[in-house]
Amino acid sequence: MSATTDSPALELADALRTVAVNSAYTASRALSKWFKRGVRLTSDGFETVPISEVAASTGDAEEPVIAAYMKLDGDIEGSVLLVFPEKTALSLVDLMIGAPDGTSKVLGELEASCLQETGNIVGSAFTNCLSTWLKVECIPASPTVVHDLATAVIQPLLVDQASVGDEALVSRTEFELDGHQLDWSFLLLPSADALSVMRKQCESDRVRQNALHAIAINGSFNASRSMSKWLRRGVRLSTEGFEKIALRDVCTTDNVDKPVVALHLELGSQLHGHTLMVMSQPTALELVDILAQQEPGTTESLNDMARSCLQETGNIISSAFVNSWAKWLEIHSEPQPPFLHVDMLEAILETMLVEQALVSDEVFMAKTSFSVDGRWFDWEYYVFPSPSSLRLIECSMD
């Protein structure tokens, strides 16, 4: 599908939503390393807001805020601003230093340093994603921390912004650490020239591929979180994203001549089709030992307990991916509980996808790595959309 000239705003919104999702994921990993604890940062994208409404979009303009401000240079000139309500900022500092909530009362040197580094990590993650995915140069300066009433912090920036552009991009961001959730706003204030460059770079093919990446990253992030809660251990699911392949190419993997274990899930409601998690039998048996906290080699066959472990894993991971697709498409989906197959991959596909092969020859595949207790497992994850769902997916990325 070719790029169109009459819908650049839609393409820019899709590209920025992709950048927001992935920069939040990148920032989460960086913050987790810095805090030495699991951090989850999420963002659904950016909303275009007229300059005159920016201060109000971040909350009460007359309430005190603490903000981390970064100037941008390169192809994308402008600035980014992380705006925290004062109490939220101080609560964030308490979480970072491991102090009880309410310990930090004022913005001292330590508090400012903590927020400055948070701003640096989050702002850099965003600008790096923006640079990589839109093929532009975007160079952030070191952040400056400002503490004042919201209108006093934001208004001077908007005066400068009004001379070079008439709109800002605002993202509501959610931060989660140790069971505590905090909300803040992330503002992108591009110059008019920068906004023009961003729109020009939003070619449909690139936006589509980035969208597939964002869907997979968001799904794997949510699956990691759910699996960690279920197992009460740190789990990391990672993927480089979905790619569209021909149905005939599904059976060209290394497992083509050996029986595999596949978790098959049917999709319902507005998103129709099937999903399939495919792994080798040795991987499945080893994974069961890890899930059940058994010695390696304990599980020798797919008995009822092993099947139950794998089915629950398939249910959690597939639901996370399916929900990510549905959220991106802004539709509803009701995935069914997964069914476990043990057979040659070609035979599994023949039994579950007779209708699919007759009407569509395109599927989406994500190569996935799963880490728990320092051990890694690899499998392929496939989405087989119905023709109507495939058209819906294609339209959302055009």
Strand partners, 187: 81, 170
For residues 18 and 213, is the Cβ–Cβ distance under 8 A?
A: yes
> What is the tens place of the pLDDT at every residue in 201-242?
765 455 556 677 778 887 888 888 889 889 888 888 888 788
Judged against a pLDDT cut of 60, whether residue 71 lies above it is answered with yes
Say what the pLDDT of residue 262 is: 93
Chain segment 5-26, per-residue pLDDT in tens: 344 444 677 677 777 777 787 7
pLDDT band at residue 28, thresholds of 50, 70 and 90? confident
pLDDT value at 45 more than 90: no
State residue 278's pLDDT score. Answer: 93
The predicted pLDDT at position 4 comes to 37
User: Do 201 and 136 meet the contact criterion of CB atoms below 8 Å apart?
Assistant: yes
Q: Which of 7-11, 31-35, 166-170 has the least mean pLDDT?
A: 7-11
pLDDT above 80 for 61: no
- Say yes or no to pLDDT of 267 above 80: yes
On the 0-12 / 13-18 / 19+ scale of CB atoms within 10 A, 340 is middle
Task: Name the CATH architecture for the domain at 8-201.
Answer: 3-Layer(aba) Sandwich (3.40)
pLDDT over 70 (residue 398): no
Cβ-based burial of 172 (10 A; exposed 0-12, middle 13-18, buried ≥19): middle
CA–CA gap between residue 163 and residue 273 (Å, rounded) = 50
Residue 90 is predicted with a pLDDT of: 94
Asked, colleague to colleague, whether 8-201 and 208-396 share their fold, the answer is: yes
Mean pLDDT (the chain) is 81
pLDDT tens track for 345-378: 888 887 776 544 444 567 888 888 888 877 888 9
Query: What is the model's pLDDT at position 79?
Result: 86
pLDDT attached to residue 5: 37
Q: What's the CATH architecture for 208-396?
A: 3-Layer(aba) Sandwich (3.40)
Which of these ranges, 47-56, 91-100, 299-308, 322-331, has the smallest mean pLDDT? Answer: 47-56
Q: What is the dihedral of CA 159, 164, 165, 169, to 10 degrees?
A: -70
Q: Would you list the domain boundaries of the chain?
A: 8-201, 208-396
pLDDT of 317 reads 93
User: What pLDDT, in 10s, does the model give residues 377-397?
Assistant: 899 999 888 777 777 777 766
For 254-277, what is the mean pLDDT? 82
Residue 398 in tokens = 């055009």
Residue-level pLDDT at 7: 41
**DSSP-assigned states of every residue in 98-141:** TPPTT---S--HHHHHHHHHHHHHHHHHHHHHHHHHHT--EEEP
Predicted confidence band of residue 303 (pLDDT cuts 50, 70, 90): very high
What confidence score (pLDDT) does residue 330 get? 76
Considering Cα of 243, then 249, then 255, then 259, what sign does the dihedral take? positive
Tens digit of each residue's pLDDT (9 = 90 or more) over 317-335: 999 998 888 887 778 888 8
pLDDT of 174-208, one tens digit each? 888 777 888 888 888 888 788 888 877 765 455 55
